[in-house]
Amino acid sequence: MPHFKLFVLPGDGIGPEVMAEVEKIAAWLTREGIVHFDIERGLVGGAAYDVHKTAISDADMARAQAADAVLLAAVGGPKWDAVPYEVRPEAGLLRLRKDMQLFANLRPAICYPALADASSLKRDLVDGLDLMIVRELTGGVYFGEPKQIIDLGNGQRRAIDTQVYDTYEIERIGRIAFELARKRRNKVTSSDKRNVMKSGVLWDDTIRALHAREYKDVELEHQLADALGMQLVRRPKQFDVIVTDNLFGDMLSDVASMLTGSLGMLPSASLGEKGAGSDTRKALYEPVHGSAPDIAGKGIANPIAMIGSFGMALRYSFNLSELADRVEKAISDVLGKGLRTVDIAGGAKETLSTSQMGDAILSALQAGV
C-alpha cells in the first residue's frame, strides 16, 4: 500500500470546515488500505498569528518542506486587518509558495454540465468548459523588490511595487504549460501586457522562443491580459491552457471560477521543480477561494474546491490518477444527483451543509471504488 506524509493547514474562516471533509476522505482511504496517509496538522494565517505572532512558524515551514504534499484551505479575515503587514495572514501562504519554490500554479476551471445553470453566463457558453490556467507563482509583482512605501516628506507618500521576471522563470512556467497542453487539447494561450510593460515584452519573447525551439507541435496564441479577461466571459470555450504571470493569473482565475458556477468549485495545485534524479516535486494544494469570513462557522461552505484540490494531490503528487479520476467522478455524480450547497443552489429547494456535501461525495466514492 502506498504511504504518504500529508501536512494539513486548515487556516482561517471556512478553512477548517472544508478541510474536515478532505480529512474524512483521507481517513477512509487509509482505513480501507487503499492509500496510507500520515497526517500532521499545522497553523497558517491568522490562526498561526494568534498563537505564534507570525503567519507561519519556522517549525511548520519545516514540516511543510518535509511532507509529500501540503494541503492548505484558506487564510485571512477581518479579525487580522490591523496586524503588521509582515505577519498578515496572507504572508504565511506567500512564504510557503516562495520557500518551497512552488512556481507553477495550476488552476483548472471545469464546468460540470449539472452546474451550467449556476454560472453567471448562459448555459451554452459554459456547458462542458474545461480550461487550465497556469499561473506563475513565485515571481512578478508579488515578490519583486523594492516593495515599499516611502515618506516623501512633503505630506506625500510614494508606494512602489516591482514587476520583475527573468528568462528562466518564464521558460520553466512555459514548459509546464506546453507539457500540459500536449496531454489536453494541444493549445496554449500566453498572456501578458507587452503593449505597456517590459516584463510583458520579455514574457512574450521567451514563450515564442521556447515554442519555436521545443514545442512546435503545440498551437500557441497570444492575447493581451485585458483582452483575455474579456474573451473569458465572451467565449471561454476557445481556451485550453492559459499561461500568464502571477498577478494576471490571480485575477483571471477568479474570473474563470465564476464560469464554473461558483468560486467554491475551483481547486488548485502549486508545484515546484522535480528534484534531481527524482520524479517527485514539492507541492501544495489549495482551493482558489478564500476564507469567506462572512459564512465562516455556519457549516454552509462548499467543500468541493478543497476536495478537488485533494484530488489534484492524488494526481500530481502521489501518481494515483485513477483514484483522482474517481474523486472527480464522485463530485460530478453528486452534482448530477442535484445535491447542492447554497452557493451553487440555483433553483434547488434544499441545500446541503458542508459536512453533508462531504458525506455525499465520500458515499459516491465508496460506491464507485
Residues 106-125 that bind ligand IPM (CB under 6 A): none
Number of residues that bind ligand IPM (CB under 6 A): 4
Give me the numbers of helices (H) and strands (E) for the chain, helices first please.
12, 12
93 binds, among Mn ion, ligand IPM, none (CB under 5 to 8 A by kind): ligand IPM
From candidates 250, 328, 333, 343, binder to ligand IPM by CB under 6 A: 250
Write the binding mask 206 to 245 for ligand IPM: x where contact by CB under 6 A, - elsewhere. ----------------------------------------
Residues 2-61 that bind ligand IPM (CB under 6 A): none
| Cell of residue 251, nine digits | 485575477
Dist. CA 23–CA 5, nearest whole Å: 13
Q: Which is nearer to ligand IPM, 45 or 261 (CB)?
A: 45
Q: Which is nearer to ligand IPM, 99 or 117 (CB)?
A: 99
Residues 277-296 that bind ligand IPM (CB under 6 A): 288
* Residue 362 phi, psi dihedral angles, 5° rounding: -60, -45
> 338: alpha, beta or left, given left = phi > 0 and alpha = psi -120 to 50?
left
H-only helix segments in the chain: 15-31, 46-52, 58-66, 89-99, 123-126, 167-182, 198-214, 225-234, 246-259, 304-316, 321-336, 354-368
Q: Which is nearer to Mn ion, 114 or 258 (CB)?
A: 258
Is 142 in the active site? yes
Report which residue type is found at 218. Answer: V
Q: Which residue is nearest to ligand IPM (CB)?
A: 90
Report which residue type is found at 157. Answer: R
CA-based torsion, 163, 169, 171, 176: positive or negative: negative
Q: Which is nearer to Mn ion, 135 or 194 (CB)?
A: 135
Is 349 in the active site? no
Length of the chain: 369
Beta carbon of residue 91, minimum distance to ligand IPM (angstroms, whole number) = 9
Q: Which is nearer to ligand IPM, 211 or 289 (CB)?
A: 289
Cα distances (angstroms) measured from residue 179 to each of 173, 176, 215, 227: 10, 5, 9, 25
Q: Is 245 in the site for Mn ion (CB under 5 A)?
A: no
Is 193 in the active site? yes
Q: Is 90 in the site for ligand IPM (CB under 6 A)?
A: yes
Q: 252 and 244 in contact (C-beta within 8 Å)?
A: yes
Sheet bearing 187-192, strands edge to edge: 36-41, 3-11, 69-74, 281-285, 269-274, 104-110, 130-136, 241-244, 187-192, 219-224
Beta carbon of residue 250, minimum distance to ligand IPM (angstroms, whole number) = 5
Q: Is 136 in the site for ligand IPM (CB under 6 A)?
A: no
**Closest among 302, 217, 303, 262 to 110, alpha carbons compared:** 262
From candidates 21, 169, 245, 250, binder to Mn ion by CB under 5 A: 250
Q: Is 286 in the site for Mn ion (CB under 5 A)?
A: no
Number of residues that bind Mn ion (CB under 5 A): 1
Q: Is 93 in the site for ligand IPM (CB under 6 A)?
A: yes
Q: Which is nearer to ligand IPM, 135 or 326 (CB)?
A: 135
Is 12 in the active site? no
173 binds, among ligand IPM, Mn ion, none (CB under 5 to 8 A by kind): none
User: Rule CB under 5 A: which residues touch Mn ion?
Assistant: 250
User: Rule CB under 6 A: which residues touch ligand IPM?
Assistant: 90, 93, 250, 288
Question: Known catalytic residues?
Answer: 142, 193, 226, 250, 254
